[in-house]
Homo-oligomer: A and B are copies of this chain.
Amino acid sequence: MELTVYLAGEIHTNWREELKEKAAKNNLPLTFVAPQTNHDRSDNVGEDILGKQPNNLYKDRTASDINNFRTQVLMQKADLVIALFGEKYRQWNTAMDTSAAITLNKPTIIIRPESLIHPLKELSNKANVTVETVDQALEVLQYIYE
């Protein structure tokens, strides 16, 4: 049973690569997709493609058009979603993607540090599983194949 996994969330650590490597080592038949993880490219993609915009609001608006397009394409192909929240930043895109995935009935795992239990409690409650580490998320993925 091949499955496609959308990896939402933090783009400032290498957790996606760590997860992919460990999944490969365990021979899990998983394909991983994700949002743009190059922060600058993600911020500039609107102007990169459509040219200079009149101000930051519209620079952001064109970039978000294209980022949301990419996310929608890949999320719809995914069989399940893993979302990692880090301790920094507001990470509203992570919350947005996680909530959209759950509403679309995509089975969803949240990875978050203990310090975020309280502010994420309602979102954790709607997700299927909440864990604290990438290794735990991997164990949940492996459980599908036992």
Most buried by B among A69, A73, A121: A121
Number of interface residues of A (CB under 8 A): 73
A119-B92 CB under 8 A given contacts A1-B77, A49-B131, A72-B128:
yes
Residue contact B125 to A68, C-beta cutoff 8 Å: yes
> How far, in whole Å, are A50 and B65 apart by their CA atoms in the complex?
20
Establish whether residues A129 and B77, one from each chain, have CB atoms under 8 Å apart when the complex forms. no
State the number of copies, please: 8
Which of the candidate stretches A12-20, A21-29, A51-59 sits at the interface with the other chain? A51-59
**Whole-angstrom distance between the alpha carbons of A110 and B129 in the complex?**
20
Q: Which residues of B contact A120 (CB under 8 A)?
A: 92
How would you classify the secondary structure of chain A's contact residues: helix, strand, loop or mixed? helix
A84 within 8 A of B: no
A146 touches B (CB below 8 Å): yes
Interface mask (A87-106 → B, CB under 8 Å = 1, otherwise 0): 00111110111111011110
**Shortest Cβ gap from A37 to chain B (Å):** 9
* Alpha-carbon distance between A54 and B68 when the two chains are bound, in angstroms: 24
Determine whether the beta carbon of B54 is less than 8 Å from that of A125. Answer: no
